[in-house]
């Protein structure tokens, strides 16, 4: 067993949170304990592709679009030509709003209130991948752990989580980000926070993650949860 010192959607403070303000239960990747966890993590393959394409959300409600773009780029496959990067194909937080996705929820509406879990999954589906979403009342901690292990072990899959920051002691509330690694010895997952101006990647326990998921999203009046994306 390894031992370490602990040190509505996407809204929060604009300033980068100081390390001293982080919750005791969380271990941040740039800290010594966080880096040691990564070195010993049993499942970390998704980290490299996701981290390569992870961009900070452009506005406070765009955790969903930022996550979608990173996940889609990390899975490979066909990409749309990005207007500002012509002629290079690349998913970004603008072109994930395809004609089909605009019908699910328009850019201005997402800008105003973000995405709920079902809309997040539908955006992925409309971009050409398979997406299965589950609310937190459809599984327990053991089920979450099992899903984490299975998804992170499959190079064709990605795990996206919708959770509240409040139960884990972070500033803000509802948020969406991808999961990139799992350490079995400490039962922690590595979440790549797309609000990079606020928090770096964070290791949190399965128990804490489940508590953060088992909160009500006022946009849907349902519990938050997860999306399993498959290429």
With beta carbons less than 8 A apart as the criterion, state whether 144 and 212 touch: no
**0.85 cut: is pTM over it?**
yes
Please report whether residue 12 resides in a domain.
no
Please report whether residue 8 resides in a domain.
no
Average pLDDT of the chain is 91
Please report whether residue 4 resides in a domain.
no
Residue 90: domain span: 19-230
29 Cβ neighbours under 8 A, 6+ residues apart: 35, 37, 38, 190, 200, 201, 202, 203
With beta carbons less than 8 A apart as the criterion, state whether 183 and 41 touch: yes
Please report whether residue 1 resides in a domain.
no
Please report whether residue 65 resides in a domain.
yes
Strand bridging mode 157-164 / 225-230: antiparallel
Report pLDDT digits (tens) over 148-160: 999 999 999 999 9
Counting the structural domains of the chain, the total is: 1
- Domain with residue 221: its CATH number is 3.90.70.30
Rounded Cα distance between 80 and 165, Å, is 33
Q: Which two tokens stand for residue 61?
A: 């409600």
Please report whether residue 3 resides in a domain.
no
Please report whether residue 105 resides in a domain.
yes
Give the C-alpha distances (Å, rounded to integers) separating 230 from 36, 132, 162: 29, 9, 17
Report pLDDT digits (tens) over 52-83: 999 999 999 999 999 999 999 999 988 888 88
188 Cβ neighbours under 8 A, 6+ residues apart: 27, 37, 182, 203, 204, 205, 206
Please report whether residue 11 resides in a domain.
no
Q: Is 122's pLDDT higher than 50?
A: yes
pLDDT of 85: 84
Rounded Cα distance between 136 and 83, Å, is 38
């Amino acid at each position: 067993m390894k031992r370490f010192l602990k040190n509505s959607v996407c809204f929060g403070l604009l300033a980068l949170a100081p390390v001293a303000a982080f919750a005791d239960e969380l271990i941040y990747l740039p800290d010594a304990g966080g880096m040691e966890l990564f070195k010993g993590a049993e499942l970390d393959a998704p980290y490299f592709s996701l981290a390569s394409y992870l961009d900070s959300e452009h506005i406070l409600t765009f955790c969903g679009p930022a996550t979608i773009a990173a996940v889609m780029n990390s899975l490979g496959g066909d990409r749309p030509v990005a207007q500002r990067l012509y002629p290079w194909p690349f998913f970004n937080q603008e072109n994930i709003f395809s004609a089909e996705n605009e019908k699910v929820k328009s850019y201005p509406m997402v800008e105003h209130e973000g995405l709920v879990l079902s809309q997040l999954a539908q955006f992925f589906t409309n971009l050409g991948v398979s997406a299965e979403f589950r609310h937190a009342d459809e599984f327990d901690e053991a089920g979450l752990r099992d899903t984490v292990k299975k998804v992170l072990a499959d190079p064709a899959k990605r795990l996206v989580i919708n959770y509240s920051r409040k139960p884990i002691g972070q500033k803000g509330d509802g948020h969406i980000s991808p999961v990139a690694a799992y350490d079995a010895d400490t039962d922690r997952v590595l979440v790549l926070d797309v609000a990079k101006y606020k928090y770096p990647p964070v290791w949190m326990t399965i128990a804490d993650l489940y508590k953060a998921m088992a909160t009500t999203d006022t946009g849907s009046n349902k519990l938050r949860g997860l999306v399993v994306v498959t290429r």
